[in-house]
């Protein structure tokens, strides 16, 4: 069976998807990156290989996420795309007619406005932690709750309290104050969800026309309390797709399919790359006043890739050595 591999490596999670030619998701994996993207990608590939064995042939691979370039070098990707493109493609494929994508991940959040299947506008928030998955994880741990129960507890609230959600520090302080006043845990959790939604809409969604159909994706979409808070704030139905937590990887797989069907070939190195040793390092270029920080990936004594230089001096040197036109 011919399949397409999509990999989304972010700061918090690493997601892998195997998709058939017909667009069916054969298998998906959601892992914690834990600051080690190479290790996470290898673990994901190993789990995929153990699941499918010799039953499938990967004929295309795509990468996205903050570590997309690094991952592309390791696996041999056919297409490397940013998160906006990958998430938009996945949403418009799985939910035809989608016009707004609300995406909240581990350490950032974004909104994508689509019109007639094309990205018309977008915005990202990578500065403040308030409203992201890592902040919710932190607050769940502080309250002694498994993060999986956070959303269901919010749904039990009878009178959600108002919490200052503009800043994660203020939100935490306000939560502690509300606890000390004697408010119920469910009302506090629901209030936090509503505060984070207000923060998202006032910052990421500011000035955006949020139209139906609205899709909510990313790891935080697992939180039913956040979904309810969005529906309450917007007065509209929110759609959470089946594969909400691996949509970036699905988008990468779809884009890999489009690219390889045109070329008829793939650069995918195979699942045996898990046996190779890859090292990531960096150095500061002294060639000019820009002082670019150059990232390089090596396997043994061989430099596989470099990036981060504005002029292309180091990146192009690797391309020239490899004889790539």
Do residues 282 and 108 lie in contact, with contact meaning Cβ atoms separated by under 8 Å? no
Task: Choose among 269, 273, 318, 274: nearest CA to 295.
Answer: 318
3-state secondary structure of 61: strand
CA-to-CA separations, 12 to 7, 56, 163, 305, in angstroms, rounded: 14, 29, 26, 24
Cβ neighbors of 323 (< 8 A, separation 6 or more) are none
Do residues 306 and 118 lie in contact, with contact meaning Cβ atoms separated by under 8 Å? no
> What is the torsion angle, in degrees rounded to the nearest 10, for the CA atoms of residue 15, residue 16, residue 22 and residue 26?
-110
DSSP 94: H
For residue 316, pLDDT beyond 90: no
Angle between helices 133-142 and 168-181 (to 10 degrees): 30
CB atoms within 10 A of CB 72: 23
pLDDT in tens, 99-125: 999 998 877 889 999 998 899 999 988
What are the structural domains, with CATH classification, of the chain?
A: 2-88+248-275 (3.30.420.40), 96-239 (3.30.420.40), 279-322 (no CATH)
pTM: 0.86
How much is the pLDDT for 284? 93
pLDDT in tens, 118-139: 999 999 886 666 567 777 878 7
CA-to-CA separations, 160 to 186, 229, 243, in angstroms, rounded: 8, 10, 29
How much is the pLDDT for 77? 93
Task: Choose among 56, 74, 55: nearest CA to 14.
Answer: 74
State the average pLDDT over residues 136-154. 80
State the average pLDDT over residues 214-229. 91
């Amino acid at each position: 069976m011919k399949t397409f591999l999509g990999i989304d490596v972010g700061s918090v999670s690493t997601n892998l998807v195997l998709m058939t030619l017909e667009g069916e998701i054969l298998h998906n994996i959601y892992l914690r990156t834990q600051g080690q993207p190479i290790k996470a990608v290898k673990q994901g590939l190993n789990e995929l290989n153990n699941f499918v064995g010799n039953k499938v042939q990967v004929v295309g691979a795509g990468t996205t996420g903050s570590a997309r370039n690094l991952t592309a070098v390791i696996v041999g990707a056919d297409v490397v795309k940013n998160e906006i493109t990958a998430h938009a493609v996945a949403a418009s494929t799985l939910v035809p007619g989608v016009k707004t994508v609300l995406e909240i991940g581990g350490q950032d959040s974004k909104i994508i406005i689509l019109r007639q299947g094309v990205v018309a506008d977008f915005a990202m928030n990578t500065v403040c932690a308030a409203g992201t998955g890592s902040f919710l994880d932190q607050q769940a741990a502080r309250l002694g709750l498994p993060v999986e129960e956070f959303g269901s507890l919010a749904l039990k609230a009878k009178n959600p309290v108002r919490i200052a959600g503009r800043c994660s520090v203020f939100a935490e302080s306000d939560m502690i104050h509300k606890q000390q006043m004697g408010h119920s845990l469910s009302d506090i959790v629901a209030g936090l969800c509503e505060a984070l939604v207000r923060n998202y809409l006032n910052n990421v969604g500011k000035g955006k026309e949020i139209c139906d159909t609205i899709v909510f994706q990313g790891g935080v979409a697992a939180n039913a309390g956040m979904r309810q808070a969005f529906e309450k704030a917007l007065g509209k139905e929110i759609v959470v797709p089946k594969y909400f937590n691996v949509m970036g990887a699905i988008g990468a797989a779809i884009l890999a399919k489009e690219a390889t069907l045109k070329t008829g070939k793939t650069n995918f190195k195979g699942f045996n790359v898990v046996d190779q040793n890859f090292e990531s390092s960096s150095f500061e270029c002294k060639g000019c006043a820009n002082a670019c920080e150059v990232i390089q990936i090596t396997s043994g004594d061989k430099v596989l890739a470099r990036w981060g230089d504005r002029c292309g001096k180091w990146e192009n040197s690797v391309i020239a050595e490899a004889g790539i036109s």
